[in-house]
Structure 1
Amino acid sequence: MFLTCFYRRVRPPAKRGHPAIENPVFSESIHDPTNPVVQQFPLQYIQNATENYKTLIGEGGFGVVYKGVLPHGQEVAVKVRSSSSTQGTREFNNELRILSTIQHDNLVPLLGYCCENDQQILVYPFMSNGSLQDRLYGEAAKRKVLDWPTRLSIALGAAKGLMYLHNFAGRCIIHRDVKSSNILLDHSMIGKVTDFGFSKYAPQEGDSGASLEVRGTAGYLDPEYYSTQQLSAKSDVFSFGVVLLEIVTGREPLNIHRPRNEWSLVEWAKPFIRESRIEEIVDPTIKSQYHSESMWRVVEAALACTEPFATFRPSMSDIVRELEDALIIENNASEYMRSIESTGGSNRFLSVERKMLAPASTTGEPALNYCPIPR
């Protein structure tokens, strides 16, 4: 769950000699006609592509990631399971099963896999701009100042990827490890969600709903999921709210080297938002370089996502709409202000005070209360 891979999305043509996988364990998912072709690669092919695993670009609980180049020139990230990984086989099978079923522009796709000589290897497009975490507060060599419109665009892309998972035809898919290191950036700085090793289908009617193993990363983990072991899509929503706060503040979600009241990003940021003092938490590198209305949309969305009780959190569809509005406002600030002046009021905002449960919608999601808060 701690593995970070860097890919670049390019969909390759099918190659002779490397047919689409025909594994009976995964055949039901893979033969969905809407899926990209997932190829089974021989081990020698992987070794040639990576020059015998020459360039290490990441490592984590699953294993290590190497950079490679396929014969037709496509750069790839090759994730190799470590022999010492206790969860490796389960994660490998889960990722293969999930990624052979889904396809979306804001999800890092699977190009192929290899199971040979006890090796378990997954191959993805290489993402040339690393992860969102790298760009916000990673190693100095990987860090780069992101302006506010770029941050908004990345957040919107990742939100669309999660919305696709949660509304997947047939059955909702819950990622279970949403975090900034699992949002990768392609050559155009488009945000794409990755790492589906812990992903699960949402419990259906008749299921207990209990998750025997709570999965996630400290600082991002939904407190209600942790305490009840009841898994739902709203757990991803909580984690994404933490990511939004990272994007706003440029801070990591958990840092015990800060003063005690700043260890948790969520708990540190919430009072500032509720007291309308968001300028005090905004990343200093983008101070005075954003439209305040656009910023408010995002911090209010983050606050709603990180509500302690899942029933009060919005859906990813709601968050996508808010982020779309925020990006429109940011990119058309002057036109937006003229429209506000002409109507004599503000557009809608996410309410940050949820003292009563909103009426349930027809879709089963609790409706959101929208109202302006003091600025």
Structure 2
Amino acid sequence: MKINGSRLCLNLLIVVSLYVRIGEGQGNSILLNCGTNSTINVGGRRWVGDSATGGNVTLSSSGIEVSTSTFDGDQTYTPLYKTARVFVDSLNYTFRGAQGSYFLRLHFYPFSSENRNVNDSSFVVQANGIKLLSGFNVPDEILQKNLYIAKLGGNSSFSYLVKEFFFTVSGDVLMVEFIPAKGSFGFVNAIEIVNVENKLFVDSVSKVGSNGETSVLSLSKRGIETMYRLNVGGSPIKADEDLSLGRVWEADSSYMLTANAGSDIHTRANITYASANDTSIAPLVVYRSARTMSNTQVMEKRFNMSWKFEVDPDFDYMIRLHFCELSFDKANERIFRIYINNKTAADNFDIFKQAGGKYKAYHQDFLDMVPSVVNTLWIQLGPDPTAGAVGTDALLNGLEIFKLSRNGNLAYVGKLENPGARKTSKSVILWVSIGAGIASIVIIAASIALITCFCQKRRNKETDTKKHPPGWRPLFLLNSTANAKASLHQSLHGSMAPNRTGRRFTLAELKAATNSFEDSLIIGVGGFGKVYKGEIEDGTLVAIKRANPQSQQGLTEFETEIEMLSKLRHKHLVSMIGFCDEQDEMILVYEYMANGTLRSHIFGSNLPPLSWKQRIEVCIGAARGLHYLHTGADRGIIHRDVKTTNILLDENFVAKMADFGLSKTGPSLEHTHVSTAVKGSFGYLDPEYFRRQQLTEKSDIYSFGVVLFEVVCARAVINPSLPRDQINLAEWAMRWQRQRSLETIIDPHLKGTYSPESLTKFAEIAEKCLADEGKSRPAMGEVLWHLEYVLQVQEAWLRSINGENSFSSSQVLADHESREEVDVPEATTSDRGTDLDPKRFEDA
């Protein structure tokens, strides 16, 4: 863009007042072409230059006008986006005679110039006391939108931005104020003030998940921002096709989670509005197309059509769905459910009945609140299998999402408000870096001096060095009491330590048990070193974990595991038999688990796959172990590395949790979480823990949910060789589960061997475990209860197909619900943590 030099007044306070009587505009609307005195026709509408002398617009200050000869975008707006008004101080547009309801649309197209970098622009927009935008940067907004659509698999490309707001003006004046951030600037290309004569919104809206309860919104006192407006199943609709209000409708395909889950249909039939008051709700062209569920060639249609949207957290949202029955000519032929954010918004939804006939345009509004830690909103439609309708699919014609103001604010305050702060931050970072560099040199010099002194002392204690070398912390130092220390020293020849720390093996004994650590006996390898299968002198098979003495990697984990396993005893936790810390060695000895890891029995090996019943039983065992960890001690213990390779199976396929090296004592009563660096295994890691670095028991729940899906699907949790949307198992499985079609991707070995109801219930508890927010996930006791119910359903189904009895899921549920609490066997008073000191683990 070329800036008009005669109008550059960078340090002048610019107050532009445009006195326009709304009734004098075209169709009770005002269309302003900003940054020019020219009036042009764009999209069949007349746009008046905001600096034109005479007529409806007067300019009280020269301001800054910019122009460009190129525009890369929708050709409809090419003339309109060739000019813009730039402001470096507050800029006010004032419209008089503005009582009523209005759409306010602000048009932005990023410009380039030698004097300003549009990437550094940042400004606030307010209208009659409602903050509309804050820290607003146009290029960032456009980039984020394009990235989001690309992430969903869409190919839309936006080069300009239109922000649309709706509010009611109770007085006689509408003032739109633009305020640049300190040291920055802002701009606007065009402004629309569109009068809405018919009642577009009503105050009473159905609240999602409240069984028909409605909420009063008081919209006359609130501002509304249009977040999304989609023509579902059809082509984009331009402003000149929406004759009443000039709205733009995007195609919905870019926002669908699975594009082929819905097929588009069209009609040329005569469409009429279900109500005479709805003529401005949406243009009829929206109702001439729709999307219905695709035929997936499966016996039961349990999948959903799903749309995903990125929204601002901590706001109320009104979701407007547009319907028009295009196929069936009587009621009860197409009945479906509507889900919003995984909650039921409506069930037994019959378009024909709601609209009053075929080819009747009808809309339904819903209200839902998006919490502060969530930035997505899901819309899902799926069949209602209990309704017995002829049509086993759903239909949708259009979709709109509106954000409602909170306390006079529509702006998402999480955005950067002052680009000038970026420059300041860079200089601060530079000086901090210089200071850190100087400090590092001082620290390194001091460290060298200390190391020199330490090495000198070591040379004077060679004997002690051989016994307890650097890199390994002698085990008895982990015990704080003199009695514990003495008991360990008394066990040097293999006796069992009375404080339950386990047997202290000699290195010679463990070499004999493993044939001098023969490679053929290796049964596992980790960052700590290797695990060997061994046989001690009494013939007992053991697993021997030998750390690598040349590296300190895993030392803290070793010490943590010793502390944990020396105090914990439970049927579903792997037991530690003893240890060895002679010479340069740190070795742990465990009970031997003959059937290895759960993962090896699901995929990736030649072992026979587990049956569905066995898989449920294994998951129950692991859940019992985790439930004991979470509830056994006063503050509980968080495993922090739940995965299928840490679930081991004994000779009877009893599952036991293993590897407690990353475990952490839970928060105290006055805290909700443990703040700690993020550790865990990629693919199983709780995203909330990753984002906030706040560890809770619900982080284990998330990881266990991934395990449940891994058990069903029998594939790696991360597989980079797969298509992009299948790489992450949790995301992939959740997409199918939200469509209620998980059976499509289950392990082929399970086909025909499971009760469909048991799989449904199993998948539902796995879905709950993977909730975005930890507080929305169930406790491990609840997970365990549901898994036990799944097992009972599967067993009853197996008995029924063997002719032993008839299958009744309701009776199974009744029997299961009669249990008052979860049974956690083999956890004595001692085992439940009375001798467990949580403080010992705080630094692990």
Tell me whether the two structures share a fold, i.e. TM-score over 0.5.
yes
Match status 1:214 vs 2:678? yes
Query: What residue in structure 1 maps to residue 479 of structure 2?
Result: 26
CA contact (8 A) 1:262 1:268 kept: yes
Shift of 1:86: 3.5
CA contact (8 A) 2:573 2:658 kept: yes
Q: Which moved more, 1:271-280 or 1:173-182?
A: 271-280
Match status 1:59 vs 2:525? yes
Query: What residue in structure 2 maps to residue 338 of structure 1?
Result: 808
**Separation in 2, partners of 1:146, 1:177:** 23
- Kindly, what percent of the aligned residue pairs are identical? 40
* SS at 1:167 equivalent: helix
Match status 1:103 vs 2:556? no
Distance verdict in 2 for CA 1:336–1:131, change over 3 Å = farther
Match status 1:161 vs 2:631? no
Query: What residue in structure 1 maps to residue 597 of structure 2?
Result: 131
Query: What residue in structure 2 maps to residue 290 of structure 1?
Result: 754
CA contact (8 A) 1:61 1:85 kept: no
Aligned residue type for 1:169: A
Match status 1:249 vs 2:702? no
Provide Cα deviations, 1:233-262, integer angstroms capped at 9, x if missing partner.
000000000000011111111111111110
Distance verdict in 2 for CA 1:150–1:341, change over 3 Å = closer
Residue of 659, 679, 687 corresponding to 1:223: 687
Shift of 1:83: 2.5
Match status 1:177 vs 2:644? no
Query: What residue in structure 1 maps to residue 514 of structure 2?
Result: 50
* SS at 2:581 equivalent: strand
TM-score, normalization: structure 2?
0.37
List gaps (5 residues or longer) in structure 2: 1-473, 488-496, 818-844
**Separation in 2, partners of 1:52, 1:317:** 44
Shift of 1:308: 1.2
Structure 2 counterparts to residues 1-375 of structure 1, below 5 A: 23=476, 25-26=478-479, 38-54=502-518, 55-138=521-604, 140-141=605-606, 143-205=607-669, 209-333=673-797, 334=800, 337-338=807-808, 340=810
CA contact (8 A) 1:63 1:85 kept: no
**Separation in 2, partners of 1:34, 1:103:** 15
Q: Over aligned residue pairs, what C-alpha RMSD do you find?
A: 2.7
**Separation in 2, partners of 1:164, 1:250:** 27
CA contact (8 A) 1:65 1:78 kept: yes
Provide Cα deviations, 1:269-323, integer angstroms capped at 9, x if missing partner.
1121122212202111111110011111111111000111100000100000001
Shift of 1:339: 5.5
Distance verdict in 2 for CA 1:22–1:267, change over 3 Å = closer
Distance verdict in 2 for CA 1:280–1:90, change over 3 Å = same
Shift of 1:37: 6.0
CA contact (8 A) 2:640 2:664 kept: yes
**Separation in 2, partners of 1:205, 1:285:** 46
Does 1 or 2 have the higher relative contact order (CA < 8 Å, sep 6+)?
Answer: 1
CA contact (8 A) 1:270 1:303 kept: yes
Q: Which moved more, 1:77-86 or 1:39-48?
A: 77-86
**Separation in 2, partners of 1:37, 1:224:** 35
Provide Cα deviations, 1:121-179, integer angstroms capped at 9, x if missing partner.
000111111101111112x33x3211100000000000000000000132200000000
Shift of 1:41: 1.0
Distance verdict in 2 for CA 1:208–1:82, change over 3 Å = farther
Shift of 1:205: 4.0
**Separation in 2, partners of 1:156, 1:50:** 33
* SS at 2:589 equivalent: strand
**Separation in 1, partners of 2:637, 2:622:** 15
**Separation in 2, partners of 1:63, 1:217:** 17
Distance verdict in 2 for CA 1:48–1:34, change over 3 Å = closer
CA contact (8 A) 2:524 2:532 kept: yes
Shift of 1:207: 5.9
TM-score, normalization: structure 1?
0.80
The structure whose residues are more often helix, as a share, is 1
Aligned residue type for 1:330: Q
List gaps (5 residues or longer) in structure 1: 1-20, 349-375
* SS at 1:119 equivalent: coil
Larger radius of gyration: 2
Shift of 1:264: 0.8
CA contact (8 A) 1:108 1:193 kept: yes
Shift of 1:114: 0.7
Query: What residue in structure 2 maps to residue 18 of structure 1?
Result: none
Distance verdict in 2 for CA 1:98–1:191, change over 3 Å = same
CA contact (8 A) 2:513 2:537 kept: yes
Aligned residue type for 2:682: A
CA contact (8 A) 2:475 2:581 kept: no
Aligned residue type for 1:166: H
Aligned residue type for 2:638: I
**Separation in 1, partners of 2:812, 2:589:** 53
CA contact (8 A) 1:184 1:193 kept: yes
* SS at 1:64 equivalent: strand
Provide Cα deviations, 1:24-50, integer angstroms capped at 9, x if missing partner.
62367989x998561111111111111
CA contact (8 A) 1:174 1:201 kept: yes
Shift of 1:341: 8.2
Aligned residue type for 1:338: S
CA contact (8 A) 2:635 2:669 kept: no
* SS at 2:602 equivalent: helix
**Separation in 1, partners of 2:794, 2:499:** 35
**Separation in 2, partners of 1:116, 1:339:** 58
Distance verdict in 2 for CA 1:67–1:331, change over 3 Å = same
CA contact (8 A) 2:702 2:770 kept: yes
* SS at 1:111 equivalent: strand
**Separation in 2, partners of 1:72, 1:341:** 50
Shift of 1:60: 0.9
**Separation in 2, partners of 1:336, 1:174:** 42
Distance verdict in 2 for CA 1:71–1:278, change over 3 Å = same
CA contact (8 A) 2:522 2:533 kept: yes
* SS at 1:83 equivalent: coil
* SS at 2:576 equivalent: coil
CA contact (8 A) 2:564 2:660 kept: yes
CA contact (8 A) 2:603 2:609 kept: no
**Separation in 1, partners of 2:479, 2:714:** 40
